[in-house]
Amino acid sequence: MIAVGEQAPDFTLRNQEGEKVSLSDFRGRKLMLVFYPADFSPVCGDQFSIYQEVRPEIEEKGVELVGISVDSAWAHKAFQEKLGFEFTLLSDFEPKGEVARAYGSYLDQAGIANRTLVLVDEDGKVAWTYESPNPGEFPGANVIFDALA
C-alpha cells in the first residue's frame, strides 16, 4: 500500500468515454482514487451506488471521486450507464493493473485491484489511504467522510 506523504504516481488511463485522463489533470484539486475489483459485481454495484448518493456532499468538501479497475473502458461505460453513476471510471486494463500495482492495491493471485481508497491532495501527494481487509468488503461512505473530516 502506498504510504501517506508519498508523491502519488502519475498515470494516464482511458475513461468510460475512451478519453485519456492523467493524474496531473487533477493538480490543484483533491482527488479520491477508488480502486475496485470489477464492474458489474454485486459488491461493486452496491459500493458505487452508495458513493453516487453521497457524491454531492463529497464534492462540497472539494474532493472528486474517480474509480479505477482492470476492466475495459467499454465495460466502464456500460456499468456507469446501467447504474447511473456520474463520476469518472478509469480503465487500468493494459498493462493490466499497472496503476493498481503502483499504488499497492493490486492482488496478484486474483488479477484485480483490492478495494482501496487513496486521497491525493492538491499537490499530488498521498494524504490518506484505506485498504479493505478483502475484496468482498467495501469501505462505506462513513470511511470517506472520516478521512475528509
- The active-site residue out of 2, 44, 75, 127 is 44
The question of whether 44 is a catalytic residue gets the answer yes
In angstroms, what CA-CA distances link 142 with 2, 51, 145, 149? 21, 10, 5, 10
Residue-wise DSSP of 62-113: TEEEEEEESS-HHHHHHHHHHHT--SEEEE-TTTTTHHHHHTT-EETTTTEE
Type of residue found at 119 = L
In angstroms, what CA-CA distances link 31 with 25, 89, 133, 134, 141? 11, 13, 22, 23, 15
Residue matched to cell numbers 488479477: 111
| Bridging pattern class, strands 30-35 and 116-120 | antiparallel
Contact assessment for residue 110 and residue 77, using Cβ atoms and an 8 Å cutoff: no
Q: Which residues are catalytic?
A: 44
